[in-house]
Amino acid sequence: MTEMHPFERALSVSTEDIELELRGITEITWADFWLNPRKLRGSDFLMRWSQGVWSEKRLIDATNKTNLFYAIPYGPSGTAPTNDVRAFELYFERLEAAGLGHIKRPDLLVFKIADKTFVDKFIESIGGEEELPFITEDKLQPLVQKAIIAVECENSLWVAEKMPAYNLPMKPQKRLGGKLGLPKVAVLPTVIIKEEDRLPLSKWQEQNKIPIHVWHVFFDRAYGLSFDKAQRLVTDGLILPTEQVFQAPGGATTKKSIYKYYYHYAYPLGVASERPQLIPAFIEDKNGHILPYVKFEGGSLNIAEEAINVLNKL
């Protein structure tokens, strides 16, 4: 199977998570559409882009607001343009042309606040954050080795505390061989890792000797889980893979295994002090065709004391 273009991979959406369908919007062919040669053709993908940009910025702002730690975007999606989906797509085209489009890096790096001056000067010396993905890992070691953790970011369109199985205790499950868990159909906050990301993240962590954590953002709160713990949970048979169908902006679908780690295994990362606004937005093609979508704006997250303790221990 041909590997998916990095732009399409970045905006792939689980069909289970596509909850907004705008009637009457049909496929827009690339020849008629200024926005996107990759045939971005639905509001779900524009929402996915907006949601990803919003959640990563929210985590960076929350971390920096502690005045104890300093976070910067590091992975290709995290350093990509955030105010224009066309610029976002061209950014991935540039990555692909440079032969760097399929390199897997964590989304964020987190440093002690004492290293902020060094980090800022280093980033300035390479031409800014947006140039990070175009520089090989060996040349970034002075920056990477200052980090206390690297972060893989995930997000979900849910209010965590309103999910039906929120606050339910784990019980012995037959499918887990009597080990603690929840029914397969339980709807609750989880921290998600894709099977296709496990090996690349493991290699990055091993090569750089920097621990990776996964931070998953919901509307009202966020959870964190160390990658090492996530691996152990799978090895111990406490978390089993789930197969989902993902759809890319160009229309291609693919089945991927993902791991959904109950929030019981994670540490509280933060609680929203202000929820985001969902505001209307749209794009327009050269023929005047309007494609509306919902844009995420604002919101504020306060890092939890438990997360501060985790970072301090590192």
In order, the DSSP letters of 107-175 are SEEEEEGGGHHHHHHHHHHTT-GGGGGGS-GGGGHHHHTT-SEEEEEEE-SS-GGGSTTTTPPPEE-GG
Rounded to whole angstroms, how far apart are CA atoms 231 and 238? 10
Residue 211 lies in a domain: yes
Residue 180 lies in a domain: yes
Rounded to whole angstroms, how far apart are CA atoms 61 and 73? 11
Structure tokens at 117: 């001056």
- pTM, to two decimals: 0.83
Residue 1 lies in a domain: no
Q: Helix, strand, or coil here: 218? A: coil
Q: pLDDT tens digits for the chain (314 residues)?
A: 446 666 666 666 665 554 433 334 344 343 343 444 344 445 566 677 777 778 889 999 999 999 999 999 998 776 666 666 677 777 777 877 766 656 788 999 999 999 999 999 999 999 998 888 888 888 999 999 999 999 999 988 899 999 999 999 999 999 999 999 999 999 999 999 999 899 999 999 999 999 999 999 998 999 999 999 999 999 999 999 998 876 666 667 788 899 999 999 999 999 999 888 888 877 665 567 676 777 778 889 999 999 999 999 98
Q: Dihedral sign for Cα 254, 255, 258, 262, please.
A: positive
Terminal-to-terminal C-alpha distance of the chain = 40
What residues pair up with 193 in beta bridges, in sequence order?
Answer: 259
Rounded to whole angstroms, how far apart are CA atoms 240 and 244? 13
Rounded to whole angstroms, how far apart are CA atoms 153 and 215? 5
271: exposed, middle or buried (C-beta count within 10 Å: 0-12, 13-18, 19+)?
A: middle
Rounded to whole angstroms, how far apart are CA atoms 76 and 40? 19
Number of domains in the chain: 1
Alpha carbon dihedral 72, 77, 83, 86, in 10-degree steps, equals 160
